[in-house]
Amino acid sequence: MAALTLYVVTFNCGLRPIDTEAFASQLFTGLHSSNLPDLLVLSLQEIAPLPQALIGGSFLVPFFEKFYHAVQKGSRTYANVEDNGPTYAPIAARNLGMTGIMVFAKDPSRIQDIETGGVGVGLWEMGNKGAVAIRFTYHQGSASTELTFVAAHLAAMEWELQRRNEDWKNIVRGLVFSSTTSKRKTGSTSLSGEERPLLSISPHDASIYKPTSHLFVAGDLNYRTSVLSPSPTDHIEIFPQPHHPPDSSLHFSSLFESDQLNQERFAGRTLHGLTEAEITFPPTYKYNSVEPFLTPDDELKKWPWARHRWPSWCDRILYLPLPTWVTRSQPSLSITAHKYTALPLFPTSDHRAVTLEISVPIVPIPPPKDEEGDDPRIKPPFEINVDWKRKRERARQLELVVGFALYFTTTKEGGTVAAAVLVGVVGAYFAIRAMVEM
């Protein structure tokens, strides 16, 4: 049975453009295979400063372009290709406020039926926190399979556990897919595009839990290892370091016993039905931005933890297993995780990127014949909010108002434009006044 190889990467960019060379040098070190994957998916949080992210469109192009160039350079280096041509074709780049998603394919002709969606769960339902998603069908010969990728960023702070669960609920209820075209247009990576809601299908099929689709959720989910902030001495006495042996109570694995995401997931309060590969890497947040950067854990003498946040696995990648109605009829099929790891610390962020290399059988998931069982594809944990479209339109208007207000008042470029406009208005006033008095 043919399998599709996926490489999913989640990275909180820290509101700054990436260092293209640094990102390219580490991007594919999370692979187990010596071959490049068929698809590369980047889930990006805090992709740009708040003003540019809320405005979106052309304001985000420079940030997305850096990732494009890093992907091309990193993939050519990993594959030892001397040709300067692109190794991957960009399939789509989308954002919802500060959260972005990019999809690349080695063979773009295999991608059809692209759908996108997004929802804000931040202040006034704007996109300072939220999710953006892409869904499409991947074809190989006569075989095909449908894939859904959700990039998410949930509420921060140790004590905001319930808010994170509520954010997930609002993502499930408010992220509804829309379609731009029936087939992908080569080279189309616009950040907005003409989209139409999928009104001809059931709300269930337009949700993230579509019965016939695989589902991957990647992002800064922000679940911590404590509901309280650290004490002033915890960073010295308790925080893990590379030299702590696995059998030590100070080894990083001890913190995982308090991982909020697993506690809430197993209790059925968040990320319903999703599973995760085994975590064998240290916490991915929060690091001080100090050297050495781009250095593997086994070469480090110390992890530069920020003393005011508990080291936590904020950055995660989860997925839905194959549904039972598929595995019953084809027990040999499986989704196989090959490697789940964290990349070294980059100089532009206090998070470490997390990667998942995984293979998915290229077979269609048929609709279930009955509605028994607890698979969320059959029984989603929450129903679609019937008012989702009006809420998103209202939030989008607020994003533009707030985004431009911040751009003109807090950025150097925006301040220059505002000053030029003001000078022009004042000059025009006096010119008109002079002409009237003549």
pLDDT in tens, 127-138: 999 999 999 999
Q: What angle is formed at CA 329 by the lines to CA 379 and CA 318, rounded to 5 degrees?
A: 50
What does the block give as tokens for 176?
Answer: 């509804």
pLDDT, tens only, 362-409: 999 999 987 667 899 999 999 999 999 999 999 999 999 999 999 999
Mean pLDDT of the chain: 92
Residue among 180, 362, 421 nearest 413 (CA):
421
What is the model's pLDDT at position 416? 77
pLDDT at res. 201:
60
What is 3-69 written as a DSSP string?
Answer: EEEEEEEEEE-TTS---HHHHHHHGGGG-SSSSPPSEEEEEEES-S-HHHHHH-GGGTHHHHHHHHH
CA distance 118 to 89: 23
pLDDT tens-digit readout, 243-252:
999 999 999 9
Give me the phi and psi of 115, to 5 degrees please. -130, 150
Residue 58 to residue 269: CA distance in whole angstroms: 38
What percent of the chain stands above pLDDT 70?
A: 90
Q: Helices then strands (H, E): number in the chain?
A: 10, 13
Amino acid at 205: D
Asked if pLDDT for residue 187 goes beyond 60, the answer is: no
Query: pLDDT per residue over 316-367, tens digit each?
Result: 999 999 999 999 999 999 999 999 999 999 999 999 999 999 999 999 999 9
* Of 426 and 378, more confident: 378
For residues 1 and 186, the model is more confident at 1
R_g over Cα of the chain: 23
Q: How far apart are CA 431 and CA 434, in angstroms?
A: 5
Distance CA 23, CA 18 (A): 7
Give how far the C-alpha of residue 421 lies from the chain's centroid of Cα atoms, to the nearest Å.
37
Residue 301 has pLDDT above 60, yes or no: yes
Structure confidence at residue 183 (pLDDT): 45
Give the lowest-confidence range in 108-112, 276-280, 411-415: 411-415
Residue 190 has pLDDT above 50, yes or no: no
Instruction: Kindly state the tokens that stand for 283.
Output: 């916490």
